[in-house]
Structure 1
Amino acid sequence: FSNLLGAVYRQGNLNFSTDGNAVISPVGNRISVFNLKNTSETLPVSTTKNITCVGVSPDGRLAIVVDEGAALLVSLITRAVLHHFHFHKPVSSVRFSPDGKFVVTKENVALMYHAPGKRHEFNAFVLDKSYYGPYDETTCIDWTDDSCFVVGSKDMSTWVFGAERWANLIYYSLGGHKDVVVGCFFEKDSLDHFFNKEGDFNNLTAAAFHKQTHILVTGFASGVFHLHELPEFNLVHSLISQQRIASVAVNASGDWIAFGCSMGQLLVWEWQSESYVFKQQGHFNNMAALAYSPDGQYIVTGGDDGKQVKAWNTSSGLCFVTFTEHTSSVTCVAFTASGFVIVSASLDGTVRAFDLHRYRNFRTFTSPRPAQFSSLAVDASGELVSAGAQDSFEIFLWSMQTGRLLEQVLGGHEGPVSCLCFSPVQSILASSSWDRTVRLWDMMDSWQVKETLPLTSDLAVTYRPDGQELAVATLNGEITFWNPNTATQTGSISGRHDLEVGRKDTDKVTAKQLAKGSFTSVCYSADGASVLAGGQSKFVCIYNVREQMLMKKFEISCNLSFDAMEEFLDRRKMTEFGSLALVDEGAGDGDGVNISLPGVRKDMSSRHFKPEIRVSSLRFSPTRSWAATTTEGLLVYSLDGSMVFDPYDLDLDVTPASIRKQLRLQKWTSAIVLAFRLNEKALKQEVLETVPHEQPVICGSLPDIYVEKLLGFLASCLETSGHLQFYMTWAQNLLMLHGQKLKNSGSILATLQALQKSIQRHSDNLSKCDFNMYSIRYAVALSKQRGMKRPAAPEDEEDEGLSDEM
C-alpha cells in the first residue's frame, strides 16, 4: 500500500503536528498526513472499523488511533503499529497530558493511563485511575499544565478532576448549560476559565481553543464559524462555509486553523491574512473510473457524484483541478497520448475533453439522439474519440480536431455497450456488450466488423500493451485471453473462488451459498506479463498470463464499517427473529422484509445505509505502481516501499563506517556497491553526492545488477532534490554506457518511465517560471531609475573626479 487519494476527511477529530506544518486527518479506517507544503501521505496502518478519535503525544512521535472500541498505538516516526488494545466500548475522545499521561472517555467514565514508554512495562497501556461523575456519555477533554483535566458530557454538565491526589480538589461539577457540551478548555496557567456551548449557538458542532493567543474557534452545523477573543468574548472574525463543520483544530502558533467538513472537505485557514493555506475535497460519492497519464505523473478520476472529474498529482497525492461541467454520473475517463488532454464520458449524454494547460472544457461531443454513454476509448494518436451507449446499443465516433461526429455510427450490438478499447498498434476498436460478444471494428475497412468473439457472458475487455492479445472479463468470474488476429482463444483463468465475496447484513444465506462474484475491471501490466482484476469484493487479484495462475491477492480494506466484508454474520447482531439489519429494515410495514432490487446500490428510503465494499476500476501505472477506485477512495499500491531499513545482500563488513572509509580512500565503485547493499536512503545519497560525477569510468565499472538499482534511486532523488544537473548527469552516463545491456531487461521499462516522469515534472515546473522574468525586469529597471535619481554624496563626487583623472 502506497497512498490513499480522493478522500481527505470522513469523521473524527483533526490534529496538527508539533511543528504546525502538517494536519493529521482520519479517513475511514486509515490516517492521512497532509503536509501544508502540498504533499500528502497515508500511514500503512488501518483499523477494523471507521476511526472515531485520534490523540497525538506532545512530542509528536506517538498517536493513539481509536475506532469504535479497538485502539492502535502508532509510531509517527517509523509508521509502525507498536501496540493493540481494546476498550470494549465506544470511545468518544482521547487526549494526552503535557506530563506523560492520557485520558480516554467512554460512556460516562474517564480513564487515565500512563503514556507508553514512561514505565518499562510489557503492557503499553497501564490503567492508573478511573473517574466517575457524569450521568451521560462524555464528549470532550482538556488538560491544564499542572495535572488537572476537565471532561464535558451529554448531560449538560462539566466535571473538573485532579490527576494527582490534591487535598483541596477531588472533583468539581459545573452546570448551567441547556444542551450537550461540545468543547471545554482551560486558560493557560489558570483554573478559572473554561468555555463551552453558550449563548444562541444552538447548532454548535465543533470548537477549539488556543491558550497562548486566547482565541476560541467555534464551528456550526450551518457552516458558519466564529473566532472570539477571550475572556472578553470579542468577535474577531466570522466566515460562512458551504458545509457542516465536524472538527476544528488550531496549530501550535495559533496562525492556522484546520476545519474538517462532513462532506469530506479539509480546509486550513490563516485567519490573520484571511486566506486558505490548504484546501482539498474528494468526490461526494463513490469513484467510478480512473486513468493514468502516459508518464504516470497524473491520475484522473470520475465519480458518481453527478458532475466531478478530478485530476491528482501522484507525487503529492493532492487534487490540483476539478472540472464540474458534467451534470450526471461520470462513467469513464481517459488520457490522450500527449498527456495534457482528459476525455470523460457521462450519463448526461455528453463526452467532454478538458485541457490541462488552460484548465478548460474545450470540446463537447454529443450524439444526434440523446444517449447515456457508459464506455469510452481514445485511439493511440489521440485524434479519434469513441463512446458506447447503454440505451441505444450504438458506438459513436468523433474527431478530436473538429469535435464533429463522424458519419459512421457503429451498430450491431444487441445489448448495452459495456467496454471499449483501441488497439495500441493497429486501427482496430474492440467493443464488449451485454449481448455476450466482443466485436473488433477495423477502421481501415470502413469500420466493418473484422471478427466477432462469442462468449458465455461479457463485461470488460482490454488490449495487451503490444496489441497482440485481448483479455475479457466475464460475469461468471472468468478471464479469457484471445488472439485478435486469428480470433482464437489462447487461455482462460477461473477466478470465481479467488474473489471471496462477503456476506451482506441483509443476506439470508451464507457467503458460500451466494452466487460467486465477477471481475468488473481488468487491465494488463506495463510489460504484459500480468493481468490485474477486481470487482464486487474486497480482493484484487494479480494473475500471471503465461502460467494462468494467481500470483497475489490484495485485501484493499479490512474496514468492517463497510457491508459485505465478512463471510459469516456477527452473532451479536443475531436475534430470535433473524439479523438485526433485516428486522430494522422491515420494522415499518409489518409485511415482511424489504429486499433491495437487483443492481440497486443504495435505497434512498432506508433509514440507514451501509456502503458495500467494491472495486469499480483498476489501472496499472506506466511506472512501478497501480491504482484502484474503491468504496474507500483511490488506493495506490507501489513497489517503491518507504521502508526504514531494507538491506540487500547484507554482510558483516557492510556498515556505514566501512562505506565512509571507502569514500576517504576514493574507492568510488566499492562505496556505491556497499551503500546499495546496506540500502539506507540517506547513506546512498551521501555516497552518490560525494563521488565525482565528471568521471564516467565509475559508471562503466559498476556491476550490471546495481545499474538498474542506481537508475531507480536517481529517479526517486529527482522527485525531491534540487540538484537537477548533478543527478541528470549521472543518469545520462549510466544510460550511455549500459544502454545496450538494459535493452534486454524487461523490468527496466518501469524504471525508465519513472525517470522520465521525474524529469518531465521538473520541466513543467520550470516552464511555468517565464512570468517571473517580467517581475525581475521591472525590479531591475526600477532600481536603475532610483539609482539615477539618487543625489550624489560629496565623497561620491570626489571618487568620480579621481576616476576621471585616472
Structure 2
Amino acid sequence: MLHFSCLPSFLFLLHLGISSIYGLPFHWVVYLLIFACFLCMETIRFKKRGGFNILFEETGPAVGRKVARLKNSTSEEDFKHGSPATITSSLSNQDFSSFASTPNGSSPWSSFAAGNSLCPVDEANASPPKELIGSLVREEGHVYSLAVSGDLLYTGSDSKNIRVWMNQKKLSGFKSHGGLVKAIVIAGEKIFTGHRDGKIRVWKVSSKTPRVHKRLGTLPTLKDYLKNSFAPTGFFEANGCRNSLWLRHSDAISCLCFNEDKTLLYSGSWDKTFKVWRISDWKCLESIRAHDDAVNTIVAGCDGLVFTGSADGSVKVWKRELEGRGTRHLLSRSLFKQDFAITALALSPDGTFVYCGSSDGIINFWDCENNLSHCGAFRGHKLAVLCLVTAGNLVISGSADKLISVWKRCGNDHFLMTILTGHNGPIKCLAINKDHESTSDENQWILYSGSLDKSVKIWRVTDQTPATQSPIEMDLSYNKDVSSTPSSD
C-alpha cells in the first residue's frame, strides 16, 4: 500500500508518465486523481445503499427494470415501449400495479376504458381536424418533449436526437449521448435539455446562424463534482422532507422549468427529488427529497411558489426564500392527495390559476389569488392526461386517449371549445406560441403536439370558436375528497 510520505514522488512520476503520453499539465493530473477518488467513494456509497440497481445498466428489458424499481408509480417511460398504434389499447389490458397508486392495484390508465358516463369526450363525435395546419414526421423515435422559441421548434425523442424545425421543415439537429430527451426549456439563446441519464445539457444557438448549435456544458459541472468531493454529503430535515445536496439526479429527469425571471432552473426526477440550479453559474443550490415516488411535473410562479406533482398522487407547494446569493425552498402545504398519479401541471399565463392533470383523466384547478382554494374539476379524457399548456383563457390537455381537448375558462367555468384528432398514439407533450401572422382581431395561437406515434402536429387554435357544449358541470362528490394540508410551519 502506498505510504502518504511517498505521495509527492508518486504524483511526480505519474505526472511524467501521463504528460509524456497526453501532454497534460501537473495540476490536471491532480484533478484527475481527485476525481477518480471521488468516483470510487461514490461507488462505495452506492453499494452500501444497495444502489447499483438505480444506475442505468442495460441488463434486461427496460420495462422490467422500471416496473421492478418504481413500485406504485406512474412514469411516462412505460408509453415508450410497444407499437404506438397499440399502446392505448394495451393500457387497459396490462397489469399496471407498478404504475397505479390505488390500494387495490387497479390501473388508473384504464379507469375510463370501459366507458364512463361522466366523461364528456366522445372520439366518434369529435370535430374534424380543421385546425390542423401541418405535420412533422421522422421515423426515428417517439416524441417526448417540445419547446418553441420564435420561429424555431425543438423536439426531443427516445432516439437521443434533438431536432430543430423552422416553417415546418427540418432546419438542423444535434445529438446527445444522454439517452431519452424528456424535457426541453429555452432561456434566450440557451437551450436546456433533461435526459434519462439524470443530467441536464446546455446548448447555445448561434445568433447569426440558427442552424448551428453548440454544446456549452453539462449540469452538474465537473467543477461542482470536484468541490463536492471534499465535503461529505450532509442531511437535514426541513418540514419533514430530507434535503441533501446530491449533485446529480440518480434517475431520469422527467421535467424542467424556470422561475419567473429565469434566474433559476428547476429539475424534477424519478429519483423523487427536485433540484434548484442557478443559471448565472450553473451551480446546484438545493436538492430536495419532495415526494414518496417519482416527480412527474413541476411549475414555478405565483409569487415565488413552486408546485410539484408526483406519481404518489400528491401536489405539493414550496415557498422560495432568498438567502444571500442562494435560495431555500420550504414546504408550504400539501395541496392535493389522491389515489391516481399526478401527470401534468400548468399555470395560467397571468399566474392566477394552477391546473393539475392526473392519470384518471381529470383536471383539477386552484385559485392562486384566493389562498389556493380549490375551484373544481372537469373530466376531459377517457385515459390519463399526459400534458397541459395554457394560453390566454385557454387550457389545452393532451391524453393517452390520443385526443387534444381545448377548453376556455370563463370565471370558474370551463367550456369545451373543440377536440383535436389526428394522432395515432398518446399525446406526450404540448407547446404553444402566439400566432404572429394572424391578421384578424381574434386571439390565435399555434399549438404543437408531440406523440408516441413519432409525429408532431401543428394546429391553429383560437378562443373565439363557438363552444360545443355547456360549461362542464363540477363533480361535487369528487371535490369533497380534495384535501389541502398546510405545512406545520
Q: TM-score, normalised by structure 2?
A: 0.49
Task: Choose between structure 1 and 2 for higher RCO, CA contacts under 8 A separated by at least 6 residues.
Answer: 2
Question: Which protein shows a greater Rg?
Answer: 1
More strand by share: 2
